[in-house]
């Protein structure tokens, strides 16, 4: 059974006003006093962010429990210094992001200017174990068409600097400003993957290979494929669904590779359009079907993803959990829909954040 790990980035906000607070250093210092944190939390680019990473898990119920535990622990530690954590991929309220100290972050600020300053966005990254770089590169080639569906399911960033962007995932649009981010053309082999990454690093545009921000990449630290397209999800259950689907995609792709089935050869240009449509509309309008890249109802496209990974989900015992989570998400909406509904009912972005703080740890 392939193991799965989840990294989530959370916003630190004032529990009364919902305004982002640059208190990550204080939260991390507080967490360091507690041995139970087990070095779970890390700093991110901005002082208004806190990141945690789960342990690799093969049982999805255990992974879901750990996501909930990490969120609760983050909330507890943040509360001890008077701040709160919230699983929002962008701040609904206006913010002037504060870049954390460190040589790497200073270099990024000098190299990329306003792009770095404005990258106060929170994502959810899924690591799934692979047996080798060869398998990993084959997986990356074969999961490309399906990643936009994950973006639509996880979309949780409709607001930016106090305004409705009209997007469901504006985070992905901001993230796409990095020149090394986005979908990739086919690699064909691990050798070609590493050759291309080395060529990118040799340009000097990136500080190192760790700044390869592909939608899916081989991890520099772990024997995993890392999928990086999802917004941080408002509900922990949605994060678990994304992790479940990513493992299903990785396993399905690996089986296709071993069976000698070629990947779908969609161009990067078309994949960018699919990603844009997922970011713009989420689950509210048609998505581009991954096999044909033609508009179809969002529910049909999501069901097509479930069918695509069906054998892998059945073999791992995740079918019922995934189907139920998808049904709930299609009925109740993703984080973007929930945020807009909260604004409509309360008339206040501060109230939106307050309710999302509660839901983050529900």
The DSSP line for 182-238 is: E------SHHHHHHHHHHHHHTSSSSSGGG-EESEEE-SSSSEEEEEEEEPPSSHHH
Q: What is the pLDDT of residues 256-279, one digit of tens each?
A: 999 999 999 999 999 999 999 999
Reduced DSSP (H G I as helix, E B as strand, rest coil) percent helix, strand, coil of the chain, to 5: 50, 15, 35
In sequence order, what are the residues at sequence separation of 6 or more whose Cβ sits closer than 8 angstroms to the Cβ of residue 266? 144, 145, 293
Q: In this predicted structure, what is the pLDDT of residue 35?
A: 60
For residues 280 and 285, give the distance between their C-alpha atoms in angstroms, rounded to a whole number. 9
Q: What pLDDT score does 38 carry?
A: 54
Tokens of 153: 């399911």
pLDDT in tens, 122-142: 999 999 999 999 999 999 999
Report angle CA 320, 254, 2 to the nearest 5 degrees: 55
Q: Using CA of residue 319, residue 249, residue 274, residue 232, what is the dihedral sign?
A: positive
Residue 93: closest CA among 174, 159, 162, 167? 162
- Alpha-carbon span 302 to 293, nearest angstrom: 14
Q: What does the alpha-carbon distance between residue 85 and residue 160 come to, in Å, rounded to a whole number?
A: 18
* pLDDT score for 100: 92
**pTM listed for this prediction:** 0.97
d(CA 322, CA 345) in angstroms, rounded, equals 30
CATH code of the domain in which 56 resides: 3.30.590.20
What does the block give as tokens for 244?
């479940």
What is residue 361's predicted lDDT score, i.e. its pLDDT? Answer: 87
Whole-angstrom distance, CA of residue 113 vs CA of residue 95 = 17
Number of domains in the chain: 1
- Which three-class secondary structure state does DSSP give residue 351? helix
d(CA 218, CA 133): 7
In the numeric block, the tokens 């691990």 are attached to: 190
Residue 65 to residue 61: CA distance in whole angstroms? 6
Task: Specify the residue for token string 């879901």.
Answer: 64
List CB contacts of 247: < 8 A, sequence separation 6 or more. 2, 4, 60, 126, 128, 312, 316, 318
Phi, psi of 216 (to 5 degrees): -140, 135
Structure tokens at 320: 């019922």
pLDDT given at position 37: 47
Phi-psi region of 162 (alpha: psi -120 to 50; beta: other; left: phi over 0): left
Give the domain range for residue 77: 4-360
Which residue ranges in the chain fall short of pLDDT 50?
37
């Amino acid at each position: 059974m392939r193991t799965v790990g989840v990294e989530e980035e959370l916003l630190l906000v004032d529990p009364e006003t919902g305004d982002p607070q640059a208190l990550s250093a204080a939260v991390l210092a507080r967490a360091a006093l507690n041995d139970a944190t087990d070095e779970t939390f890390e700093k991110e680019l901005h002082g208004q962010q806190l990141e945690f990473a789960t342990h690799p898990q093969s049982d999805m119920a255990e992974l879901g429990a750990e996501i909930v535990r990490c969120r609760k622990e983050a909330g507890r530690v943040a509360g001890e210094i008077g701040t709160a954590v919230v699983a929002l991929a962008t701040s609904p309220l206006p913010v002037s992001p504060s870049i954390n100290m460190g040589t790497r972050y200073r270099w990024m600020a000098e190299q990329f200017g306003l792009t770095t300053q404005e990258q106060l966005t929170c994502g959810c990254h899924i690591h799934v174990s692979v047996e080798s770089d060869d398998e990993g590169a084959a997986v990356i080639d074969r999961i490309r068409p399906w990643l936009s569906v994950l973006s639509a399911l996880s979309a949780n960033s409709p607001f930016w600097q106090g305004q409705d962007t009209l997007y469901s995932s504006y985070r992905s649009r901001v993230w796409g400003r990095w020149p090394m981010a986005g979908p990739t053309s086919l690699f064909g082999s691990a050798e070609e993957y590493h050759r291309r990454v080395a060529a990118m690093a040799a340009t000097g545009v990136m500080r190192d290979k760790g700044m390869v921000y592909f939608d899916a990449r081989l991890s520099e630290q772990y024997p995993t494929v890392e999928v990086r397209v999802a917004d941080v999800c408002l509900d922990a259950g949605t994060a678990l669904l994304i992790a479940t689907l990513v493992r299903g995609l990785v396993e399905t792709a690996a089986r296709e590779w071993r069976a000698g089935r070629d990947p779908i050869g969609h161009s990067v240009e078309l994949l960018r359009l699919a990603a844009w449509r997922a970011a713009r509309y989420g689950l509210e309008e048609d998505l581009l079907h991954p096999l044909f890249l033609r508009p179809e109802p969002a529910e049909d496209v999501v069901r097509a993803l479930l069918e695509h990974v069906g054998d892998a989900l059945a073999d791992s015992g995740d079918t019922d959990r995934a189907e139920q989570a998808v049904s709930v998400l299609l009925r109740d909406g993703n984080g973007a829909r929930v945020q807009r509904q909260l604004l409509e009912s309360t008339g206040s972005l501060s109230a939106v954040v307050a309710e999302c703080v509660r839901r983050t740890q529900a």
